[in-house]
Every structure is written in C-alpha cells, then in structure tokens.
C-alpha cells in the first residue's frame, strides 16, 4: 500500500494521525490537537515530508496545534471543509473542500465527504483505493458524536447515506479513544448481540494492556454499533419505539446516550 498510517494519543484521549505516502514521502497530519505528539510522529517517520494538514472539523481539540505547525512548516497546506473554511473556523486554512472533492497526497487520491451532525462543517477524509477513512467525531468505535450543531436528520444521513457505500472492510479512524465507554452503552440497548458482547470483552482486554482500539472496520460498526442499528428490533425494543422514522429513532437513542452514566 502506498499510504501508511501512524497514530499517537494527544491531550487525554484524542488521536493524532500521520499519513505517509511510501512512494514519495509526502505526509499529512490529521487533526493535530497539540504540537508535541504531531512532531513525535514525524520524528518516528524520518522519510516523511509534511505537506498537508487535514482538519475534520473546527473543535479546538482537533485544530489546537495547527498554528504552531504552520509556523514551523510554512509551506504546508491546511485543509478543512468548505463550510468551516468559509466561516473562518479552521486556523491557517488554505483550502476548503467540497463534498466528494478529491485531491492527492503523493501518488494516492483522497476524497472529502461532508458528514454533518456533530458539527455543521464536519467532513471525512477517505482513501478509496487503500480502504481507510478518517471520520473525526461523527462516527466513533462503538458510538457516535454528540449533536452539537447538527440535527438527527443530518447525522443519520451522514452515517447511513454518505457512509452507506463504504465497504465493510473500510478501516475507520475516529478522533477519540472512547470505545470502552461506548460499548457499555451499546450493551445496555443491545444486550443479546453476541458480536457486541464479544467485542466488549476484546476491547476491555486491550484497554487493560494500554492498547488502542482504533481503527475499527465499517463492518464491525454495522454489526455492533447501535447508532448504525437504530431501527433494528432490539434497539427499538430497548427504546420503547415502534413505527418512528430512522432519524426519530436515532434522536431517541442519542438522547439516551447523552444521559447514560
């Protein structure tokens, strides 16, 4: 594969990723919330030449290191969604990306997908050939992001329609290490899902060893993530719903998660 991915924790539970084209050495940092972890990733990949920064959305814990990185690497291009760039929400942004717009990193093609819900300007960056996607805080391993700006309708469109054509094998790189807590909620609304129960055990074992649970796969999310199963009978039963639209079911599920402890 011409692209390789390196990851590091930042802040408390954020992920910073470095994507490197092995053919050219061209590299991109994804959601650099702080500078030190980003520089450590670059130091561990000595052939990497930082060319781009990709910001999935404007929250401070995804863009906090952009200004300093741009000062140290002035030729780097900073990408954000068209919405966030036009509204001045991504620092140092040089290019706003439209839905389904494509650009290159080294010899590989990257596609931007608009996935609002968590925020209005949220986007995913996907490499269709290599089979991975950076989804920020829209889709988490075992969960999804809070609706800070968007509506249930927008979020369900993002999760079910925009991501609907992604193969099950797609590697999903989300923005936070929230999997263990997400799965506790998932089991509370889908307690008889054997695949989910097995995943919960595997994640608990991994976290005890300090291991990352990111990436997951799109197929794993479709089988075990309640936010991608919100109209399935077990979820509807747990919520006491029947006959509601997909977005209404999602909204009820998201509300349940917001108040879960």
Q: Would you say 56 and 134 are in contact if contact means Cβ atoms under 8 Å apart?
A: yes
Q: Select from 55, 50, 44, 52 the least CA-distant residue to 80.
A: 55
Lookup result for tokens 């879960």: 260
CB-based burial label for 195 (10 Å; 0-12, 13-18, 19+) = exposed
- 37 is written with which tokens? 């972890």
- 151 is written with which tokens? 């509506």
In tens digits, the chain (261 residues) has pLDDT values of 699 999 999 999 999 999 999 999 999 999 999 999 999 999 999 899 999 999 999 999 999 999 999 999 999 999 999 999 999 999 999 999 999 999 999 999 999 999 999 999 999 999 999 999 999 999 999 999 999 999 999 999 999 999 999 999 999 999 999 999 999 999 999 999 999 999 999 999 999 999 999 999 999 999 999 999 999 999 999 999 998 999 999 999 999 999 998
Strands 108-114 and 123-127 come out as antiparallel
Domains in the chain, ordered, with CATH?
Answer: 3-174 (3.60.15.10), 179-213+222-258 (no CATH)
């Amino acid at each position: 594969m011409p692209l390789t991915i390196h990851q590091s924790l930042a802040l408390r539970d954020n992920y910073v990723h470095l994507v490197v084209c092995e053919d050219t050495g061209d590299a991109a940092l994804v959601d650099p919330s702080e500078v030190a972890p980003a520089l450590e990733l670059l130091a561990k990949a000595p052939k990497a030449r930082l060319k781009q920064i990709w910001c999935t959305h404007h929250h401070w814990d995804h863009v906090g290191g952009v200004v300093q990185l741009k000062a140290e690497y002035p030729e780097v291009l900073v990408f954000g969604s068209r919405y966030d760039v036009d509204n001045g929400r991504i620092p140092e942004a040089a290019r706003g990306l439209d839905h389904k717009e494509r650009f290159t990193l080294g010899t590989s093609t990257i596609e931007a997908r608009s996935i609002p819900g968590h925020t209005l300007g949220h986007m995913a960056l996907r490499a269709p050939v290599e089979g991975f996607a950076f989804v920020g805080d829209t889709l988490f391993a075992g969960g999804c992001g809070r609706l800070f700006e968007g509506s249930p309708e927008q979020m369900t469109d993002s999760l079910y329609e925009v991501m609907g054509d992604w193969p099950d094998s797609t590697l999903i790189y989300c923005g936070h290490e929230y999997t263990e807590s997400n799965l506790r909620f998932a089991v509370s609304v889908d307690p008889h899902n054997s695949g989910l129960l097995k995943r919960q055990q595997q994640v608990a074992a991994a976290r005890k060893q300090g291991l990352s649970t990111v990436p997951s796969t799109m197929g794993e999310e479709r089988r075990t993530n309640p936010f991608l199963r919100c109209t399935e009978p077990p979820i509807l039963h747990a919520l006491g719903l029947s006959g509601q639209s997909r977005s209404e079911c999602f909204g009820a599920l998201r509300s349940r998660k917001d108040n879960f402890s």
